[in-house]
Amino acid sequence: MNTVALLSRDTLLLKQLQEAFARSAPQLTAVLAEDPQAKNAQVAACWFPLPGSLAKLPNLQVIHSVAAGIDHLEHDPSCPDLPVCRVVDPGHRQGMTEYVRWAVIHYHRGFDQVLVQQRQQHWERPLQRPASQFRIGVMGLGSLGSAIALDLAAAGYAVRGWARSSKDLPGVQTFAGADSFNGFLNGVELLINLLPLTDETRGILNQQTFERLANGAALVNVGRGAHLNIEDLQQALKQGKLRGAMLDVFEQEPLPAEHPLWKTPGVTITPHMASAASHDCIAEQITENFRRLNSGESLLNSADRQLGY
């Protein structure tokens, strides 16, 4: 029997995934961790699995992230050394581009200021600046980051991008490697993070990074929650070094109700909605990897746990 165990601390997601597998992959048996059939699972479909949950699956052969990232697997220290795959949804790039466009316009046109003014019953029109004068920095120039940088450049923004290796993107000023990081940050008014999470990028959104930005800059984090030093962000906002931050990813998801970020002035929180693979796409790609596993073929969208992607 082809059994997939669904592992997550997000109970709503588990319900939605079970429905998607029943709808799009009826040939698979999708069960929750507490189901007795889970011990038969050859594949675990994961999103922030609970600690110890993977160790309880003795017949596991593949660990499958239900997203493009795999760093959330670290939340279960019992994660065994098995092949890891991720989901790549063709619509993921479009969704991320739409979210970032919204974030850019939010800060470029001063909607963050207007919303504060509304609460204060204050009427003041923000200065309207040409897109060409609004300096945007994109951290991470993989398939998503490159698409976003090119999209914003086509809209007329002054875009620069930074990545580990050299990239050539028309209309985008590119920087590569650690030695160029400070030069990339210098004077940026909106910093967008799309980096993968690795040992080198963990905590990269910190005081030293914020200090290099233009005064009153804003941050958009659609990478990973562990990229961000929350205390440094709060201090930068309090001091006025940053005017705002739009955060879509967090180290613990769902974000606990008592978390201080909910009430931090200048922070906009969205529930990891920038872009996500559709539930049907998740079920279909895991089904394809079941077929490949059973036939001895190479797995679809394999990831390198050492690299983090």
- Is 80 part of a structural domain of the chain? yes
**For residues 47 and 163, what is the distance between their CA atoms, to the nearest angstrom?**
26
C-alpha 57 chain-centroid distance: 27
Using the predicted structure, report yes or no on whether residue 308 has a pLDDT greater than 80.
Answer: no
Known active-site residue 272: yes
Residue 308 resides in a domain:
no
Global confidence as pTM = 0.82
- Residue 244 forms part of a structural domain: yes
Catalytic residue among 75, 224, 243, 279: 224
Domain coverage including residue 253: 92-269
Q: Are residues 131 and 160 in the same domain?
A: yes
- Same domain assignment for residues 243 and 212: yes
Confidence of residue 29 (pLDDT cuts 50, 70, 90): very high
pLDDT, one tens digit per residue, over 131-158 is 999 999 999 998 899 999 999 999 999 9
Q: Catalytic one among 64, 72, 272, 279?
A: 272
What pLDDT is stored for residue 309 in this prediction? 72
The pLDDT tens digits for 188-218 are 999 999 998 888 999 999 999 999 999 999 9
**125 lies in the same domain as 244:** yes
Q: Within this chain, do residues 144 and 164 fall inside the same structural domain, yes or no?
A: yes
- The residue among 192, 214, 205, 185 whose CA lies nearest residue 105 is 192
CATH number for position 132: 3.40.50.720
pLDDT tier at 254 (50, 70, 90 boundaries)? confident
pLDDT, one tens digit per residue, over 85-100 is 999 887 888 999 999 9
Residue 309 lies in a domain: no
Spacing of C-alpha 213 from chain mean position = 22
Q: Is residue 69 part of a domain?
A: yes
Residue 111 is predicted with a pLDDT of: 97
The predicted model gives 235-240 an average pLDDT of 98
Q: Are residues 73 and 203 part of one domain?
A: no
Does one domain contain both 162 and 280?
no
- Select from 107, 126, 111 the least CA-distant residue to 190: 107
235 and 297 both lie in a single domain? no
pLDDT at site 191: 99
Domain count, the chain: 2
Q: Is residue 137 part of a domain?
A: yes
131/264 same-domain check: yes
Tens digits of per-residue pLDDT, 33-77?
999 999 999 999 999 999 999 999 999 999 999 988 898 898 899
Question: Known catalytic residue: 292?
Answer: no
User: Tell me: the pLDDT tens digits for 152-175?
Assistant: 999 999 999 999 999 999 999 999
